[in-house]
Amino acid sequence: MAAEPRFPAYDPAEFSRQLAEYTQAAQTMFAEVMKAPSGAAGRGLDPLNAAPAMQEAATRLSMSPARLMQANLQLWQQHMQLWQQMAASMAAQAQGNDRSVAPVPPPIAEPEPGDRRFRHPDWQENALFDYIKQSYLITSRWLVDTMSGLEGLDAQTAKKVNFYTRQFADAFAPSNFVWTNPEVLRATYESQGRNLAQGIENFKRDMERGKGELRITMSDPDAFELGVNLATTPGKVVFQNELIQLIQFEPVTEQVHRTPIVMIPAWINKYYILDLNQKKSFIRWALGQGYTVFAVSWVNPDETLAQKTFDDYLVEGVIAALDAIEAATGEHEVSAVGYCIGGTMLAVALGYLAGIGDQRIKAATMLTAQVDFSEPGDLSVFIDEKQLDNLDQMMGDKGYLEGQAMFTTFNMLRANDLIWSFFVNNYLLGKEAKPFDLLHWNSDATRMPRRMHLFYLRQMYLHNNLVKPGVVELAGVPIDLTKVTVPVYLEACREDHIAPFRSVFKARHNFSGPVRFLLAGSGHIAGVINPPDANKYQYWRNDDEPWEVDAWLKGATEHPGSWWPDWQAWLAQHSGDMVPARKPGDGKLSVIEDAPGSFVKVRSA
């Protein structure tokens, strides 16, 4: 029987038409993805202020001809080895892949673990695409190593050079182009180019969604509704002002710990990261452990709130929430949980309260939150005086930063996973994004008032003033974290690209009270939202609590599964005796509306 054709028959004329149309659109599509985030650092020919760093690197490279010659020689040698390997592989395939006759040599270059760009079998089984893949890996690694290993660059310039070289290398991966991606070629032949036509339509739709700027669809936007299949834990809004709604959740146990919990999320996203669904809700799980749980739901600010300051976010946000909780429960003392920037704000609040002699937060939990910003990771490449000045000018008209700007900036930190994979799926393969609650939340970013945001970036990221006693003054109180003596539970994630665990660990040096540090597996989101029933990942503890991070890691013990039970065991020691469960509206605060409230439903686009 004759062998089945590799690809089904197709209409050459129709295929040519589809390909021509796509070719015309492809350059525009690629250029839009390559654009700097419009709100990340303002306008101009170089909004991210990358050119000076790259020019300095080029100058340093030209001053080291011997090093450049050696690097080029190494590149040439690796490519020669690859040519030899390709010849051997083609010989093996010509022999029917009989490895006993012509064994296939080991690859010269392999993708890093977790690199999903080359998962399709043709990248390994087809000699041509295997060659394309390895040639790219060899060249891109050579480029990054050569540019990143230059001597004479200051630390910030070196970090920028490394980051933007990697961005360039990622952008020009063969997986991002029709003719060099075997999966896309197969789809193109099999559908007679309909995947490319659909990709153009997907691109046009995403441009319309972004009102002229590309907003890549990562999750089916119609698959989720707050209060229906996201943010479903029953509760009531019992307090609100211009900046927050405070949600008190319905108890699920007859008895609760006397000390209530307030959860303070980051204000650049919505609180429901802590309440994704019944199986992944940190809030619902905490209720089940016998706690009265409150959550701050930050406003999505517009022009009317453009003059709000960091002081306002402290006083009208965290401090107002503490006052409201006392009115709702009669309890003066609370435990507080801060996530990401919400954890940084919690540290600020601890310093503020210590400065006025108020000890109402009796235990603090900081999840993937930085306090010492001396090693903030790749986000620091977006923050220097030039970029902040550009950002200030850009926000001058509206008075706030669009949520899409920060969303795109964070995605750049993991461009292959959060940008280019969707570029291939949506615009090359012509597929629709699947429903994914985490990505839906990730794209539901909020705006940030100009004055508050610039203060945060300058004082924390740029100058690292939060850890300098008395340098930062908020609401008339000099912030000195060394006066904080309450117990702190400090959680970091091993693969966190936003708050690197080494940076989070540094907070141990800033507080004077007992600090329990825990390192969770996975990244900034999945490492935190890891319920025990999922039985995923792991965490590390070191009961000796050494002062330096490397010593801590060396002596740490790995534990399977979620870190949540470890946190609960710690928190229970600081949460008082058991009392009858409290329901929203039982205290001095009346119910305003049902959870999740109205603030969380205001979208930026």
C-alpha 86: how far from chain center: 38
Are residues 530 and 562 in contact, defined by beta-carbon separation less than 8 angstroms? yes
Query: Strand, coil or helix: what is 468?
Result: coil
**Structural tokens at position 67:** 């090093």
Residue 420 to residue 216: CA distance in whole angstroms: 10
Residues whose CB is less than 8 angstroms from the CB of residue 170 and which lie 6 or more positions away in sequence, other chains included: 140, 415, 416, 420
**Alpha carbons 519 and 489: distance in angstroms, whole number:** 11
Angle (nearest 5°) at CA 342 between 336 and 347 = 65
Residues 6 or more apart whose Cβ sits within 8 Å of residue 407: 442, 443, 445
How far apart are the C-alpha atoms of 508 and 506, rounded to whole Å? 5
Euclidean distance between CA atoms 591 and 573, whole angstroms: 31
Full DSSP string of 130-181? HHHHHHHHHHHHHHHHHHHT-TT--HHHHHHHHHHHHHHHHHT-GGGSGGG-
- Residue 583's closest CA among 299, 251, 351, 262? 251
As a whole number of angstroms, the distance between CA 542 and CA 155 comes to 31
Distances, alpha carbon 523 to alpha carbons 465, 557, 566, in Å: 26, 19, 18
User: CA-to-CA distance for 423 and 177, rounded, in angstroms?
Assistant: 10
Pick from 216, 179, 196, 222: nearest CA to 421: 216
| Catalytic residue list | 340
- On whether the CB atoms of residues 383 and 40 are closer than 8 A, the answer is no
Q: How many CB atoms lie within 10 A of CB 600?
A: 26
Structure-block tokens of residue 263? 């959860």
Closest CA relative to residue 453, chosen from 522, 406, 500, 523: 406
DSSP codes joined into one string, 243-259: SEEEEEEPP-SSEEESS
First to last CA, the chain: 58
Label each residue of 24-37 as H, E or C. Answer: HHHHHHHHHHHCCC
Report DSSP letters for 345-382, one per residue: HHHHHHHHHHHTT---EEEEEEES--S--SS-GGGGGG
Q: Over the Cα atoms of the chain, what is R_g?
A: 27
